[in-house]
Amino acid sequence: MLRTLCKSKITNVFVTSKELKYSGSMGIDSSIIEAADLLPGEQVHVLNVNNANRFTTYVIEEKSGSGKIVLYGPAARLGEPGDELVLLSYCQMETKECRNFKIRKISLGKNNRIKK
């Protein structure tokens, strides 16, 4: 049996900009993508702390070290620059693999920089 587990959780994420006229998705600083074990194109669940919107989209890579978190396309209607987000990604694995699995948790600080 496959189970679905939370693979990566990124907290204290702040939207830096948005662009409505775009085909969709969410731009994330590539250094954050790497630290959270995400891939460009990977599905993420986005929870907006400011307005309670929850939506699913996919990752687009932004320049490393830029601190950019950008809502593109329809997602731009679900948040504003300065809104706080929580980002989640999931994976599926067999029950026995789940026993030793550890979620990757990343917390961001000022300017969306990874806290050490």
Point out the catalytic residue in the list 22, 31, 58, 66.
Answer: 58
Point out the catalytic residue in the list 8, 25, 30, 89.
Answer: 25
Query: Following DSSP, what letter does each residue of the chain receive, concatenated?
Result: -EEEEEEEEEEEEE--EEESSSSSEEEEEHHHHHHTT--TT-EEEEEETTT--EEEEEEEEE-TTS--EEEEGGGGGG--TT-EEEEEEEEEEEHHHHTT---EEEEB-GGGPBP-
Look up 25 and say whether it is catalytic: yes
- Positions marked active-site: 25, 58
